Amino acid sequence: MIIVTGGAGFIGSAVVWKLNALGRDDILIVDHLGRSDKWKNLVNRRFRDYMHKSEFLAQLEAGRLGKIEAVVHMGACSSTTQQDADYLMENNYHYSVALARFALKNGIRLINASSAATYGDGAAGFSDREDRLALLKPLNMYGYSKHLFDLWALGSGALNRLVSLKFFNVFGPNEYHKGDMISMVYKGCRQAVTDGAVRLFKSGHEAYADGEQKRDFVYVKDGAELIAWLLTHPEVNGLFNVGTGRARSWNAMAGAVFRALERPVNIAYIDMPPALRDRYQYFTQADMGRLKAAGCPVAFQDLEAAVFDYVTRYLVHNDRCL
C-alpha cells in the first residue's frame, strides 16, 4: 500500500492521478477535508480508504494500517501568509518529523514535500546541495517550517534515506480550492475571460520592471511524474529541486494565458499589498543539476506548453480536476 498525505490536495491528488494511471489503487488518502471543495479532487480517483490526518499518526504507530510500501507526504499548510507560527511548527514540522522517524525505523520509502520558499530572497542561490542548507533564510513562516524539516533530516542523518522535494511555482489542475494561494495561471485565465485583462503586481525593486519579476513555473503533472519515478527508484535519496531550471517572467506567464485563449495580451499592473512587500521573492530558478545527475528522465514542460495544456484542456471547459 502507498499512503499519500494531503492526498485530496493539489499536488497530492495529482500523485494519486498518476498512480491510478499506472494501475495502482492500493492507496490510503490522508487529509483534512473540512468545509473545502477539495473532496472533488477524489471523485475521479481510485483508492482503498480515506483517513483524517488527526487519526493517521496514531493508527500508523499502532501498526493498524497493514503493510506499507511508501509514504508520499504532501500534507501541509502551504499558505505563505499564515501568521500562526505555532500551528505551522506543529502541522508542517513536528508532524513531518514524527512521520519520517516512523518510516525510517520501519524501512518505508518516504517522499516529502519541501518548498522553494526555503530559499528566501535568493541571496544564497537556489542550489539544493546539502552544504548550502544552513545559508538559507526563508522570508515567511511557511518556508521556515519546511526549512526546519530539511535541516532536521540533514542533521539526523536521515536525508540520505528519504527524499525531500523543493517544489518551485507549481500550477495545474486540482488547485482550484487553494483560495489566495491559487496559481496566477488560474487567476490570470479567469481575469482574462471575465475582465479582458490580467492583473500583475507592480515591481518594488529597481532591478525588475513591472511584471518582469521571475519565477520557475512547474506543471503539476510533471511533479506527479517525478514522484512516480522516485517510487520505483528507492536508491535515489536526498534533497532535490523540482522546477524547469528556467526562470520566466510574470509577463511571459500572462502572455501564454492570452495566447492559449487566442486573445490579445492585456496586462494591468497593480500595487503590491503591504503585507507581501517584505516577503516577496523577485526571482526563483531551480538548479536542476542534482536531479539530472540522479538519472531522472522526467522532461519538465516549458511554460507555454504547460499553460496551453492547462487552459485549453481544463480551464476553458470549467473542468478543474484531473
Q: Are 172 and 220 in contact (CB under 8 A)?
A: yes
2-171+217-246+285-301 placed in CATH 2.40.110.10: no
Report the pLDDT value the prediction gives residue 83, as an integer from 0 to 100.
Answer: 82
Report the candidate in 224, 271, 239, 275 with the shortest Cα–Cα distance to residue 81: 275
Q: Cell 511571459 identifies what position?
A: 252
Secondary structure class of 4 (helix, strand, coil) = strand
Report the pLDDT value the prediction gives residue 147, as an integer from 0 to 100.
Answer: 97
Distances (CA, A) of 130 to 104, 116, 192, 233, 237: 19, 14, 42, 20, 12
Report the pLDDT value the prediction gives residue 215, as an integer from 0 to 100.
Answer: 97
Question: Which residues neighbour 35 within 8 Å (Cβ) at sequence distance 6 or greater?
Answer: none
**Of the residues 93, 95, 119, 142, which is catalytic?**
142
Report pLDDT digits (tens) over 19-58: 999 999 999 999 999 999 999 999 999 999 999 999 999 9
Number of Cβ within a 10 Å radius of residue 35:
5
Report the pLDDT value the prediction gives residue 108, as an integer from 0 to 100.
Answer: 98
Q: Where are the beta strands (DSSP E) in 161-237?
A: 163-167, 169-171, 198-201, 214-215, 217-219
Report the pLDDT value the prediction gives residue 318, as an integer from 0 to 100.
Answer: 87
**Of the residues 40, 53, 178, 187, which is catalytic?**
178
Report the C-alpha gap between 169 and 159 in whole angstroms.
23
For the chain, residues with pLDDT lower than 50 are none
Per-domain residue ranges of the chain: 2-171+217-246+285-301
Cell (9 digits) for 133: 542548507
50 is catalytic: no
Q: Where are the beta strands (DSSP E) in 89-232?
A: 109-115, 163-167, 169-171, 198-201, 214-215, 217-219
Beta strand pairing status for 248-249 and 49-52?
A: unpaired
Report the pLDDT value the prediction gives residue 279, as an integer from 0 to 100.
Answer: 82
> CA 271 from chain center: how many Å?
26
Report the pLDDT value the prediction gives residue 203, as an integer from 0 to 100.
Answer: 96
Beta strand pairing status for 217-219 and 214-215?
A: unpaired
pTM of the entire predicted model: 0.96
Report the pLDDT value the prediction gives residue 186, as an integer from 0 to 100.
Answer: 97
Report the pLDDT value the prediction gives residue 315, as an integer from 0 to 100.
Answer: 97
292 is catalytic: no
Report the pLDDT value the prediction gives residue 240, as an integer from 0 to 100.
Answer: 98
